[in-house]
Each structure stands twice: as C-alpha cells, then as structure tokens.
Amino acid sequence: MAKSSQTRSATSGNKAPSPKTKATNKSVRRVPGRPPKNIPIETPDTDSLLGLYEDMLMIRRFEEKAGQLYGMGMIGGFCHLYIGQEAIVVGMQSVSRDGDSVITSYRDHGHMLACGMTANGVMAELTGRKDGYSKGKGGSMHMFSREKHFYGGHGIVAAQVPIGAGLAFSHKYRETGGVSLTYLGDGAINQGQVYETFNMAALWKLPVIFVIENNQYGMGTSVSRAAAGRALADRGKAYGIPGMQVDGMNVLAVREAGAEAMAYCREGKGPYILEMQTYRYRGHSMSDPAKYRTREEVDAMRKQRDPIDALREVLIADGVENEQIKAIDAKIKAEVTQASDFALASPEPDPAELWTDVIREGGVI
C-alpha cells in the first residue's frame, strides 16, 4: 500500500508554544464568531490560541444554555448537544479557507457557530422563533446558511455524506479551489452509502475531507459493539483514500492533521479521512438518560481529557494571566445570555409561514 494510504495517528500536537510567543494581553483580532485563520501550524502565538479557546468556549456555553432552555420547555423536538467535541470543529475551521463548505449530521450547533453563523440566529431557530435561520420552522436539525457555506444539519444518519461529496464535486467542477468538510459519526460510518461515496470521491479525486467524529457511541451502542475492524480511519483503504487517527480532544492535534488533509485535497489528490477520537459528555439527545455507560466513565473523560481545560493549561503555561481567561469566560457567558434573550424576545412565526418554503411536484407553492 502506498505510504499516503496508511493510517497514521496525530496525538502529539499539544506542544507548549515557544517562549517567544509570550502573552501579549491583546484582544484576539478576527471576525467575531469565526475561528482564527492563518495561524502557523507548528507554533501558534498566544493570541491565536486565545481565539481557539474562545471559540471552543462559545460552543460549550451555547450548548449548555440550549440544554437549559430545553429543560424549561423553550426548545421542542430533538436537540443533540456537541459538548465534549468542540476541539474538532474549531480546529478544522481554523485551518480551512473562506469558501470551503461544511456539512454534518444533526449534532450541528457547534458547526454552525464555527462557520460564523450568529448565536442569535441559531438560538432563535432552536426556540422556534421568526428570527431563526429557518424562520423558526426547521429547529435544531434543519438550519442552513449558503452565505457561510454551511449546508446542514441532516437527521438521516449518513445522508450528508454523499451530499458532501456533491459539494466537493461542485468545488472541483467550478474550480473554486475549495474543500468540502463532510462530518459524520462512528455510527454513520457503517452505512452503505458511505462506501458508494468513497468510491466516487476517490475515482473523481474530489476535494473532500471525511471527518469521522468517533465519540464512542451511536445512540446507546458503543463503537466496539457496532464497528468491525480497529481504526475507522482505515475504512477508505480499499479505495486508496488515506486516513489518520487524531486526538480529537486536542485542538492543536486536530489543526495539524486538518492542515495536512487540507493540503492533500487542495493539491488535487482526492479525498482524505480523519478519524477524530472524541467523546460526547451528554446523552445522544436531550431525551437520553444514557444508562448504557457509567457516570465514572463520563467523569473521567471530563476531568482528564477535556479539550477546553487542556488548552487553558497551555495558555497558562504560555504566560496568560488568570484574569484574562476569566474576562473571556465572562464575555462568552454574556454573549450567550444575550443570544438567549434575543431568541426568547423574537416572536413565533406567523401562521401564514406554513405556506412558504414548501416544495411540491411542479414547483414551489
């Protein structure tokens, strides 16, 4: 097998930055709500690390608030939280370029925020309000933003995978130079359509990164009970698609692997698979009591592997003052409270909206 097709692992990215990158106390210069770009992969400076920290924390606090609002009955239907997995989407977005497209499953709020969609709009949609991204008619699993190149939000397991290859086809056909970031779960990887997609993506050398978020469970079934073979990163071997296992709890390891996969795709070499090893702290959805795993297992992951705690330690080792970290925490908390207030103040959609955005055979109603 060619060297590029072998599964490797990237787990060593959490190197402390070099001494010359001492904390500067400057605020992070970037478009709000958008992970910082163009950060050197090997030695990100402190400002860049602070940006990554802020973006992960934003997702964490947003999801906690969504969980609270669900408990209060303000969010209906399904709601799948991303808590624990933040390093993956923040790390990948930080090595992407404007114009790259993103598509994922129903565990999607973090991806939306990382793509630059507003917390106000996402929260308003979760709460079924007029100012939501789908005018309050889509909810948690059905939000899109062409402007931010976010293509959903898909409730059917693995349905987004062939569509992700389609987005890559579009990049190639239109010569945009873009890459399709197609996220899927460890449960989705066993779907037949994934392998039809791998075949076509490899055959046509499509610029797509299949990011497997292996959070150890598909609903209540552990990956060891559901998936044959050891590394999910190997699943593209038959098609010559290179794969890498990555510590998905370490945003710097995600960035290193992501940058390599991006370069491969942009050089026109075809698809790439990244298996991010991660963990979801909450149940599958808000209605899951998670009896299939022990509290000790979850606590151990939270205490020993948390991606936000790990980056905070790197920041402190790099000389960032506790006060600065506390100020970021307070700022994010205020932003999330503001998003929640905005959502709850937004009216419910007008009943006339029942007749808009509906497609029937022969055209739009």
DSSP string for residues in 292-344: TS-HHHHHHHHHHH-HHHHHHHHHHHTT--HHHHHHHHHHHHHHHHHHHHHHH
* Binding site partner of 330, from ligand TPP, Mg ion, none, Cβ cut-off 5-8 A by kind: none
The site partner of 284 among ligand TPP, Mg ion, none (C-beta below 5 to 8 Å per kind) is: ligand TPP
Given 186, 247, 256, 275, the residue binding Mg ion (CB under 5 A): 186
For residue 187, the minimal CB distance to ligand TPP (Å) is 3
By CB under 6 A, residue 140 contacts ligand TPP: no
Count of chain residues binding ligand TPP (CB under 6 A)? 14
Q: What counts of helices (H) and strands (E) characterise the chain?
A: 11, 10
Determine, following the binding rule CB under 6 A, whether residue 248 of this chain makes contact with ligand TPP: no
Among 116, 218, 243, 270, binds ligand TPP (CB under 6 A): 218
Q: Would you count residue 194 as binding ligand TPP (CB under 6 A)? A: no
Q: Collapsing DSSP states into helix, strand and coil, what is residue 152?
A: coil
Q: Is 275 helix (H, G, I), strand (E, B) or coil?
A: strand
What are the beta bridge partners of residue 363? Answer: 360
Residue nearest to ligand TPP as judged by C-beta position: 185
User: What is the distance between the alpha carbons of residues 365 and 355, in angstroms, rounded to a whole number?
Assistant: 7
Is residue 284 involved in binding ligand TPP (CB under 6 A)? yes
Residue 195 and residue 213: Cα distance in Å, rounded?
A: 17
| Nearer to ligand TPP (CB atom), residue 34 or residue 282 | 282
Verify binding: residue 217, ligand TPP, rule CB under 6 A. yes
Check binding of 275 to Mg ion (CB under 5 A). no
Q: Which of the stretches 31-39, 54-62, 179-187, 197-205 binds ligand TPP when contact is defined by CB under 6 A?
A: 179-187
Residue of 228, 249, 252 whose CA lies nearest to 315: 252
Phi, psi at 218, each rounded to 5° = -115, 110
Q: Give the binding site for Mg ion (CB under 5 A).
A: 185-186, 215, 218
